[in-house]
């Protein structure tokens, strides 16, 4: 059972910087029926208070903070959350990366009704697999996520791993004005929708700037990184530390050292890193985001003074790699997904709301992208399949832009890229497609329901890059 001690407050940004033993459990009281309340409401966060003119930022957050509380349980346990909507807009919560029962997936119009202002909705589901996940609104996400409606969801392995610290970090890219407030005037700007999405000008970790992460020499550390930005693909570099990649999108992978170009995380992707803290006591090491025009120090390691060095002979801990389900490529259900549109694209028009529209009509409806010539209509699925089948989707990115393609309820593997077969790719729930790239993904359809498949650059999703996959029980 998920008890309230397993919910850790992370709203101040501060807690994550301290060693596990000093994180204070958030006092969240489950109602007598065992539900934990997440109240979607307005609040403030110290996003940029390190800047002279910046006041705490007015945000929308779960329980008024950003990120929302870390939800934590063990693999196989149940999560019971009551979403209470105290916003002026309808909302919902999606549990990104969880193999969830379909009616708990949180997609208004596909798996549930929107939760209206003043209403609530009970989410009650099992979290089957250990790993790093997150939760976020799935309503008007280009605005609601940009305002802060997300949090981390950590599913722990059933046996305790020997990490000295386990640190979860939600990294976000905000567009702030000089007063530190969210730039609201640019919400819905068609320029963002047609280009890479809403790119920001300020990076935070766990809702604060340049987060200090306290380490002691010799510690074995697990860092869980999640990209919660609307659109920016993060490139993260660690000064003077050898980091080992141990999981992607929640699923353990065979360990691999991170190379010089750093960790690349598209929107919604996660990476778990494992390392031994090899810094000098009393020193500081910067962690930088390098996709900005200048490197942006958005967090740093600080080593305790005078701590004893115990690093000798220590190696980073690995995780047990996930068993990858066998794919039946020979008999797979195959479909193509042609991605078109966007600025400098060649799209002339697309189907929207059941009729063919010109580019001009599409833009009036805030649509500028299409999958297989359809802009964002969910009337029909991309593919119908039955439980037990392997599904292959051949994605053709015929646009000049990258896209972070995300499938709900399943993890998939890339089996072909630009015509070359790929074997033993990691299981992922979000894959970054480069401009003009082709990639085929495959997965075993084992979870019945209606599963959204969309670009996680939120302005692209809103602008038409969304479809779904229908999986039915075989008779």
Write out the residues near ligand C2O by the rule CB under 6 A: 94, 96, 136, 138, 268, 406, 408, 452, 454, 456
Expressed in angstroms, the distance from the first to the final Cα of the chain is 34
Q: Least distance (Å) from Cu ion to the CB of residue 146? A: 16
What backbone torsions phi and psi does residue 231 show, to the nearest 5 degrees?
-145, -20
Give one DSSP letter per residue of 237-303, joined into a string.
EETT---EEEEETTEEEEEEE--TT-EEE-TT-EEEEEEE--PPTT-EEEEEE-SSSS-EEEEEEEE
Which partner in Cu ion, ligand C2O, none is near 352 (CB below 5 to 8 A by kind)? none
Residue 222 lies near Cu ion (rule: CB under 5 A): no
Q: Which helix (H) or strand (E) holds 310?
A: none
36, 243, 457, 462: which one binds Cu ion (CB under 5 A)? 457
Which partner in Cu ion, ligand C2O, none is near 460 (CB below 5 to 8 A by kind)? Cu ion
**Number of CB atoms found within 10 A of residue 300's CB:** 17
- Which residue's CB is nearer to ligand C2O, number 417 or number 456? 456
- Which residue's CB is nearer to ligand C2O, number 406 or number 444? 406
Per 3-state DSSP, the chain is made up of helix, strand and coil in percentages (nearest 5) of: 5, 45, 50
408-437 positions binding Cu ion, by CB under 5 A: 408
Residue 460 lies near Cu ion (rule: CB under 5 A): yes
- Which residue's CB is nearer to ligand C2O, number 136 or number 367? 136
Q: Least distance (Å) from Cu ion to the CB of residue 230? A: 11
Which partner in Cu ion, ligand C2O, none is near 457 (CB below 5 to 8 A by kind)? Cu ion
348-407 positions binding Cu ion, by CB under 5 A: 403
The phi-psi region of residue 20 (left if phi > 0; otherwise alpha if psi is between -120 and 50; otherwise beta) is alpha
- Which residue's CB is nearer to ligand C2O, number 367 or number 406? 406
**Number of CB atoms found within 10 A of residue 100's CB:** 25
The alpha carbon dihedral of 461, 462, 465, 469 has a sign of positive
Q: Least distance (Å) from ligand C2O to the CB of residue 284? A: 34
Which partner in ligand C2O, Cu ion, none is near 403 (CB below 5 to 8 A by kind)? Cu ion
Locate all alpha helices (DSSP H) within 62-144, ordered by sequence: 141-144
Which partner in ligand C2O, Cu ion, none is near 452 (CB below 5 to 8 A by kind)? ligand C2O
Locate all alpha helices (DSSP H) within 44-183, ordered by sequence: 141-144
The alpha carbon dihedral of 409, 410, 414, 416 has a sign of negative
Residue 96 lies near Cu ion (rule: CB under 5 A): yes
The SS3 assignment for 462 reads: helix
Q: How many residues bind Cu ion (CB under 5 A)?
A: 6
Residues that bind Cu ion (CB under 5 A): 96, 403, 408, 455, 457, 460
């Amino acid at each position: 059972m998920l008890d309230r001690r397993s919910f850790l407050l992370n709203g101040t940004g501060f807690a994550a910087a301290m060693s596990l033993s000093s994180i204070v459990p958030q006092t969240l009281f489950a109602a007598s029926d065992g539900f934990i309340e997440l109240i979607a409401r307005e609040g403030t966060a110290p996003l940029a208070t390190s800047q002279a003119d910046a006041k705490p930022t007015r945000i929308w957050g779960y329980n008024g903070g950003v990120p929302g509380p870390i939800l934590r349980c063990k693999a196989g346990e149940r999560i019971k959350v009551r979403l209470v909507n105290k916003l002026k807009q309808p909302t919902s919560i999606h549990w990104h990366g969880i193999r969830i029962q379909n009616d708990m997936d949180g997609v208004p119009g596909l798996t549930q009704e929107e939760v209206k202002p003043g209403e609530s909705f009970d989410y009650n589901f099992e979290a089957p697999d250990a790993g790093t996940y997150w939760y976020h609104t799935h309503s008007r996400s280009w605005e609601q996520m940009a305002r802060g409606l997300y949090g981390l969801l950590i599913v722990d392995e059933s046996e305790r791993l020997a990490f000295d610290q386990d640190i979860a970090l939600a990294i976000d890219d905000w567009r702030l004005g000089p007063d530190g407030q969210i730039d609201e005037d640019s919400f819905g700007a068609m320029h963002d929708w047609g280009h890479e999405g809403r790119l920001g000008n300020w990076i935070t970790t766990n809702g604060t700037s340049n987060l200090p992460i306290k380490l002691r020499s010799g510690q074995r550390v697990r860092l869980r990184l999640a990209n919660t930005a609307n659109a920016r693909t993060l490139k993260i570099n660690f000064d003077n530390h050898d980091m080992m990649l141990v999981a992607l999108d929640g699923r353990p992978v065979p360990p691999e050292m991170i190379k010089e170009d750093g960790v690349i995380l598209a929107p919604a992707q996660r990476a778990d890193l494992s390392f031994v803290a090899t810094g000098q006591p009393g020193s500081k090491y910067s962690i930088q985001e390098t996709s900005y025009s200048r490197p942006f120090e958005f967090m740093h390691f600080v080593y305790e003074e005078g701590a004893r060095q115990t690093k000798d002979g220590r190696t980073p801990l690995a995780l047990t790699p996930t068993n990858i389900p066998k794919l039946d490529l020979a008999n797979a259900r195959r479909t193509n997904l042609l991605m078109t549109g966007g600025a400098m694209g060649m799209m002339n028009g697309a189907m929207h709301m059941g009729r063919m529209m010109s580019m001009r009509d599409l833009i009036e409806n805030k649509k500028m992208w299409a999958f297989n010539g359809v802009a964002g209509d969910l009337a029909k699925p991309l593919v119908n399949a039955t439980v037990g089948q392997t599904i292959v989707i051949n994605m053709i990115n015929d646009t000049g832009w990258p896209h972070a393609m995300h499938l709900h309820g399943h993890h998939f593997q890339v089996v072909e890229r630009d015509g070359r077969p790929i074997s033993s790719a990691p299981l992922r729930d979000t894959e970054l497609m480069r401009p003009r790239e082709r990639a085929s993904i495959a997965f075993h359809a084992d979870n019945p329901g209606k599963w959204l498949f969309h670009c996680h650059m939120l302005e692209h999703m809103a602008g038409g890059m969304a479809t779904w996959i229908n999986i039915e029980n075989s008779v």
